[in-house]
Structure 1
Amino acid sequence: MNTSAKTLSHDTIRAVQWQGDHLRLLDQRLLPRKEHWFDCRDYLQVTQAIKDLAVRGAPAIGIAAAWGVVLAAQQGQSLDAALATLRAARPTAVNLMWALDRMKAVIATGADAGRLEREAQAIQDEDLAANRHMGELGAALIAPNSGVLTHCNTGSLATAGYGTALGVIRAGVANGHIEQVYAGETRPWQQGARLTMWELVRDGIPAKLIADSAASHLMRSGAVQWVIVGADRIAANGDTANKIGTYQLAIAARHHGVKFMVVAPSSTVDMATVSGDDIEIELRDPTELLGLGGQRTVVEGADAWNPVFDVTPASLIDAIVTERGVIERPNTMAMLAMFGR
């Protein structure tokens, strides 16, 4: 099987699907025990799906929000209200704001619902193309027969398809550069265990699940040469916000001589945010930490602190891969050279 055919065999999932007058989403809260699709027929339902993590992953959130604007336009609803409501759904992922700003710019030209539909489709199509290109760029950095560790879910479920960090992994498996993938479970929502492993197994990619707390031990064993993660926001100096637990992986990787790669489309780069100190970190309901699979596991009366993201300093990142190119050892000057102000 040639590399192109292998790539296609490792790419079978599309979780956000426009149906002409409604948006169909694969409910990521129920995976892997159940593959349930549901329909959003107005922008309020799209907003709720984003808030409830039925659709998640920074690019997928932005794509879904763009389709929410289309639904509002088709139904003659206030586009200003739709934009404001969708924008408030989740604060950290810059792709949401980027997609809505792009739709807002088209609205400002007096565009009708048909023109907005074409713009939303372009956002989705461009994301898929960017993911494929990033996959090629990132895989080229990895030596043959490597092991890699990934965190959270950065695949087809989190994007238009193929994935960001998982796109690099898909490409790396196809070209023989990646021999073994390890996925951290990613508490408390278990995106690595529930979603990433579902994608990898479904697409025939060699994968092993590890407990989040096993990552340093795995690195010390020599089994992995790269940690590959996605991003929800990249600041102007290269500091990167991603799923909680990413920062500690970067620290451990540096200690063990393991390379650390961030993979994200340019829409995730926020040059208006000077550094990671300026990124708002979303806090979710503490009760999410107090149970597993709907079953409480912690004593009644206990409290918890539940930040959803953390910030990895640019000094701990070996490469940021976007569809525009690769920035090795990112810093403010390198970011400005590629993305401008």
Structure 2
Amino acid sequence: MSTIPVKMPNQRYDVVIEDGLLKTLGDRVRQVWSPRKVAIITDDNVGPLYLDQVANELTESGFTVVTVVVPHGEHSKSLAQLEELAQQLAAASFNRTDSLLALGGGVVGDLTGLLASVYMRGIDFIQVPTSLLAQVDSSVGGKTAVDVAQVKNLLGTFYQPDLVLIDPQTLKTLPQRDLVEGYGEVVKAGALVGGDFWSLILQINSPATILQEAAKLIHFALDFKVEVTSQDEREGGQRQLLNFGHTIGHGVESLANGDLRHGEAVSLGLIAISTIFADQDETHEVLEKLRDRLEVVGLPVTSPLLADDGLMDKIKNDKKNRHGYLNVVYLNAIGQPQIEKISLADLADKINRAAI
């Protein structure tokens, strides 16, 4: 077991990583919450696997449980789904003393976190991420959001959970594509950190080795994310480093209209931005190292969508667009990230010239 303490300006909580943790979930939750009514929000993929177990754990620990199942997939990150969930909570007489528990991947976590932040102006919630992507990234840091007008995460809040409980054993039930796409975020974090984290990345040569080293990979990734977000909760400074690969990646993901997973789009974004800066500060070696580590597990490193005429229109809608400028992240070397302010026009030109 490993525990990472998170110390935000207005909230402190623990991230607990332990194989088999779902078997003791009720006791873990009881350590931070008094008995109350809890709505477990999950999706129709995760629910059949873990909902009964988690509900029984909470019930045996004295909680009154309500279960809510949403359709799986990015389309559930919508205002319509958020409103429907709020209506269900109201129908079940939830008030400010009651709480939510997100059981699932990033979509469920983001949706539940946003609901918790706005229902009756804020109620408590706990994250129980079951996908690698959620375990290494979205469950920690406090970002919540839904998509609006085909723009990813356009409407959201910063709202911290009371606890994050991670059981790496849940990764064994993931389809291989879902496991590998989460690894895109792991490579991103490892490249930013370097050192022992990158040394572990160099040992991962297949989806099977991702599973074998899951607990270590999760701890490394979250230790870094906690360090960054604790110092910059609302993305005014160093938290921007976490956007490495995301500026172009989000654009490609939006163009793909559901055909690309988030981690796959991040993989493409990492290669794209590294290609653009490959001749700057001798970063060509970084490009090749990233390409090798992504390809070896089956993540995509090229796509015709990178040459799509609509890509820049998607990037222009990025939440980080400030008066026609974006701060983009690239690497001078592994473990040496750089943030550069660039105009949208210059970025478009660089994308075109790079012929990614």
TM-score exceeds 0.5: no
* Structure number with higher helix proportion: 2
Q: TM-score, normalising length from structure 2? A: 0.30
Q: TM-score, normalising length from structure 1? A: 0.31
